[in-house]
Amino acid sequence: MKFLDLAKVYVRSGAGGNGAVSFRREKYIEYGGPDGGDGGNGGDVWAEAVEGLNTLIDYRYQQHFFARNGQGGMGRQRTGKGGDDIVLKVPVGTEILDEDQETLIADLDTVGQRVRIARGGNGGFGNLHFKTSTNQAPRNSNPGQPGVERTLWLRLKLIADVGLLGLPNAGKSTFLAATSNARPKIADYPFTTLHPNLGVVGIDNTEFVVADIPGLIEGAHEGRGIGDRFLGHVERCAALLHLVDGTSDTVAEDYRTVIAELEAYGGHLADKPRITVLNKIDALEPETLEERAAELEAAAGGRILTMSGVSRDGVTEVLRALRPIVDANRRPAPEAPEDQTWRP
């Protein structure tokens, strides 16, 4: 299944049905009076976060969603049937943005959370509503209100506890494959990972979700390479795991490149709790390992860890270092979410 984290949709709520103009006509009842019923309300358009989805690919092939109109009122004081609602099912973590792609309408970060993004029009009044002591036979009724049309953007930000960062070929996919059941594509060339991958990692009877984010390069915030389009997926992470390729001759420069892209992206990503790891130590001689670990530690300004995703040396220590950060930042399970309505 292809990964898609941004989609444009067009929604329209249903129009309300027209009120009816009708009079009661029965044998032996000369003046039956008005009995026109009201029109039914138009259907609403809702968005709901559901389990089992991690991409917006469904909205690449269908972009238009129209709720049904309400039925018109009828004689004998019969109210028209209301229009059926339509529900857009989206992955947990989906943001709904206005057409300008900046105004946030809703952030669906809880399973079952719903928001009404277009309210259906009210049905019109039938002529029975206009009867007065001085107007016993009104011949006017109200039309139904029109529906609401909106152009919206759906933007998915995956909800993970830990986000993997690093230059291409830093070993992020290898680490995810070694610690979880995820099977990302692994190869020795840049941009092997073309879309984020999620894996559930277990350590000391605790599980948390790790997201493998495609590699950054210098100038990614300006659109170079794959760009920074996937950095939004780590905005929700409790911690960042920054992997640096130990086989590189410029580990300090590699570290600073990724940090600079985080700072350029904004969104307080650079301020998130971060663990720096020198990876691929199985390919280094002891002297080289000591030299590059010291160089990276000086660049990071603090303690770093070392590991190998291939031989799994040091992997347990890295996971144990992540666990307290994840536990401290996990939100308590929310109560049953209430329905929300967007009122533009």
Annotated binding site: 166-173, 191-195, 212-215, 279-282, 308-310
Binding-site positions for Mg(2+): 173, 193
What's the one-letter identity of residue 338?
E
On whether the CB atoms of residues 19 and 74 are closer than 8 A, the answer is no
The first and second tokens of residue 270, run together, are 């650079």
The first and second tokens of residue 35, run together, are 């009995």
On whether the CB atoms of residues 195 and 175 are closer than 8 A, the answer is no
The first and second tokens of residue 142, run together, are 């109200």
The first and second tokens of residue 269, run together, are 């990503």
d(CA 201, CA 169): 21
What strands, in cross-sheet order, belong to the sheet with 45-50? 86-91, 45-50, 114-118, 340-341
On whether the CB atoms of residues 122 and 80 are closer than 8 A, the answer is no
Cβ neighbours of residue 136 under 8 Å, at least 6 residues apart?
31, 33
Cβ neighbours of residue 81 under 8 Å, at least 6 residues apart?
40, 70, 71
Binding-site positions for GTP: 166-173, 191-195, 212-215, 279-282, 308-310
The first and second tokens of residue 335, run together, are 């109560």
